[in-house]
Amino acid sequence: MPVSMDALADDLAAESTVLRELLAPLSEQDWRRDTPAVGWTIADQVSHLAYFDDVAVRSAVRPDEFEAEKAQMDADGGVNPDRIAERFRDVSGEAMLAWFDEARGRLLESFRPLDPKERVPWFGPAMSAASSLTARIMETWAHGQDVADALGAIREPSARLRHVAHIGVGARAFSYTANGREMPQDPIRVELSAPDGELWAWGPEDAVDRATGPALDFCLAVTQRRHLDDVTLTITGPVATEWMSFAQAFAGAPGGGRVPGQFSKEIG
């Protein structure tokens, strides 16, 4: 079935609404709460999303402008999320929420009419418009998890987790590259139970190496929002065990992840 940009945009809009419902009631003090990402507040999580929404729009509709921006970043040592976050720390919570709303609206409006196969530039290899929008779903869900954790909130898992899991599986090779390792050629079977009980699967059925369990737990692991000790996954075989020890669905340098016991399995 062909990828539908409208369906992806609808899922991103729905994920945005979940995050916005957490953000709307916050006081200015709440916006400055620390999240589990060391050194990052709730405001930093949201500025990260809004900033890269704006960048994604430029990559799709003004690629020359994006390439110039990327060249400048490369000259300054590459994309540095911490340095970007520092630029917006004097923005109020109210203004931050307005920026997020506006940036997300522009993103959805810009990407809906695109051909899903159209190539758009990014900080790594160019990707399809569909992949770019899917990545925004993953990023929104992952940074939304940091916000939820900071507030002690629990979000209801949805079928949108499939986008996050799909990127996590697809980013296996990148995970090895980011960690300076050579990826084994052995296949891995990933089988996940969806929130509605459906089975989601990737990889050959007869693969010896396997990762199985709840989709939510797999997504928490590959976005490095939970340590493997704090999720309920069954990992079989040395290749799957190695990969899952540093799997990351997000671009950039290897993440710091979370420490064992930081969260109980009941939370994630």
How does DSSP assign 218-243, residue by residue?
HHHHHTTSS-GGGS--EEESHHHHHH
Provide the pLDDT for residue 265: 64
Residue-level pLDDT at 264: 74
Amino acid at 162: R
1-50: per-residue pLDDT in tens?
578 999 999 999 999 999 999 999 999 999 999 999 999 999 999 999 99
> pTM (2 decimals)?
0.95
**Interval 54-63: pLDDT, tens:** 999 999 999 9
Which pLDDT score is estimated for 251?
86
Percentage above 90 pLDDT, the chain = 90
Q: Which residues of the chain have pLDDT under 70?
A: 1, 265-268
Give the pLDDT confidence score for residue 54 in this predicted structure.
Answer: 98
CB–CB of 31/42 below 8 Å?
A: yes
- Domains annotated for the chain, with CATH where assigned, are 5-151 (1.20.120.450), 161-246 (3.30.1050)
Phi-psi region of 236 (alpha: psi -120 to 50; beta: other; left: phi over 0): beta
Separation between Cα atoms, residue 156 and residue 96, nearest integer Å: 25
pLDDT of residue 124: 81
